[in-house]
Chain A
Amino acid sequence: DIVMTQTPLSAPVTLGQPASISCRSSQSLVHSDGNTYLSWLQQRPGQPLRLLIYKISNRFFGVPDRFSGSGAGTDFTLKISRVEAEDVGVYYCMQATQFPPSFGQGTKLEIK
């Protein structure tokens, strides 16, 4: 199984400042069809998990453009250009390239 490793596990940030979360996979996430099935999920307190980004850099419906994803192969990054109070929560990277799907440990984003 592919192991997903996120850093940092805790990210204290100041409102209005940028934030960045890294995710590394134990194997390349490039699928035989040429796509890379790396997603980012957000878990806010009391809310269902929410898809933010899929296939590395595609924002899902309704996701603000302050969220962006990048990376390739085994190294990926989620960036928030200017953190807002509603962004507090836990962020997970997840791969679906190789079965079974697997998740990072989660990064807790909190306001300083």
Chain B
Amino acid sequence: EVQLVESGGGLVQPGGSLRLSCTASVFSDLYMDWVRQAPGKGLEWVGRIRNKVKSYTTDYAASVKGRFAISRDDSKNSVYLQMSSLKTEDTAVYYCARDNSWKYDYWGQGTLVTVSS
């Protein structure tokens, strides 16, 4: 079974930066997404990085565009979410998920990001 493990969450002040990592036990040549869940709320898509065939192109939700950046290192089976200019409303558990043919077949356990002064 594929396992995804996120890391890098923590407490950060508004305006600060944080980099999340997601490492997979099996890193197929698939798209990888980040999804977040604010406390007591539902799931919100954050962004996507495509595979080598698609030139590793990225897309982002309007709420994070220009502040967040996704990258990947296939040699390390890892995907990253660089977050900057963080706002209190970015407080959430951040999940990485593998997009396998239009379905998220595996998810990480999530990492909590708290933006607070």
Contacts and interface: CB of A to CB of B under 8 A. Distances in A.
Interface string B87-117: 0000000010101001111111110000000
Interface of A: 31, 35, 37, 39, 41, 47-51, 54-55, 60, 92, 94, 96-97, 99-106
A39 B43 contact: no
A25 B59 CA distance: 22
B45 A103 contact: yes
A100 B42 contact: no
B61 interface: yes
A102 B44 CA distance: 7
A24 to B, nearest CB: 15
B107 A49 contact: yes
Given A48-B107, A48-B109, 6 more contacts: A48-B108, A51-B106, A55-B102, A101-B33, A103-B43, A103-B44
B42 A104 contact: yes
A30 B17 CA distance: 39
